[in-house]
Amino acid sequence: MLRDYGRQARPDVIAGFALHRYAWPACLLITVPWFLHRRVPRMPVDGVVFQRALGRMAVRVGEFACLPDDPLAGLPGARVVPDEEALRAEVRASVAEHLEPLLDGFRPRMRRGKRALWGMATDEIVEGLWYIAHLLGEERRAMAELELLLPGSTGPYVGAAGFRELTGPDGAALPTRDRAGCCLFYTLRPEDTCVTCPRTCDADRVSKLAATTAD
């Protein structure tokens, strides 16, 4: 915190940032193969090694779910599911299996209840894949896929993908969403909230998004 933001943070804020810096790539290791290849790896926590100082992960995957027409469906470890909805259920289950023990471990340090932590898990899934899909030029498809993945009624997750559109100064559509949880960044820089933070009004969102689009 001192290195990146020039000030000390509360212990619960530090814990929240630490969880995010792990959960973001961990979720992507599950959601990106699903998004690009329609394969969902199972990734229990004992199959992952994380080097905290370097921010690197090593993963051992022994099982993955796929659709009946997948060319890898006959491989050892492949588990065929009947359709897209069943595959989405595999994504939710795989992420939950991985994150649940982590959320339990972080809970006393973050001073948040179970519902708030699963809201953060929802945000990690949505915003991670949304960001990667934007880099790949497939933002709209990712938004549609995430709306189906997290419609808001799939426990233990709290909240939906919840995308909506604002209108920019030039009439362009600017996609946004309201996060289910809060990263507490405002405790470090009250004047600089995240663009998807519920604390950020739509006018400020439009200003920030329009500036990003112009860049």
Report the pLDDT value the prediction gives residue 181, as an integer from 0 to 100: 86
Residue 214 confidence (pLDDT): 58
Q: Answer whether residue 135 shows pLDDT above 60.
A: yes
pLDDT in tens, 14-58: 999 999 999 999 999 999 999 999 999 999 999 999 888 887 899
Task: Give the CA radius of gyration of the chain.
Answer: 18
Q: How confident is the model at residue 197 (pLDDT cuts 50, 70, 90)?
A: confident
- Output the pLDDT for position 215: 53
Query: For all residues of the chain together, what is the average pLDDT?
Result: 93
User: What CA dihedral angle connects 17, 199, 196 and 115, to 10 degrees?
Assistant: 60
Strand-pairing partners, residue 177, are 163
- Whole-angstrom distance, CA of residue 45 vs CA of residue 62: 13
Whether the per-residue pLDDT at 77 is higher than 70: the answer is yes
Mean pLDDT of 143-163: 95
Picking from 97, 93, 98, 95, the residue whose alpha carbon sits closest to that of residue 81 is: 93
pLDDT score at 185: 86
In Å, how far from its chain's centre is CA 156? 14
Contact residues for 31 (Cβ-Cβ < 8 A; gap 6+): 91, 95, 125, 128, 129
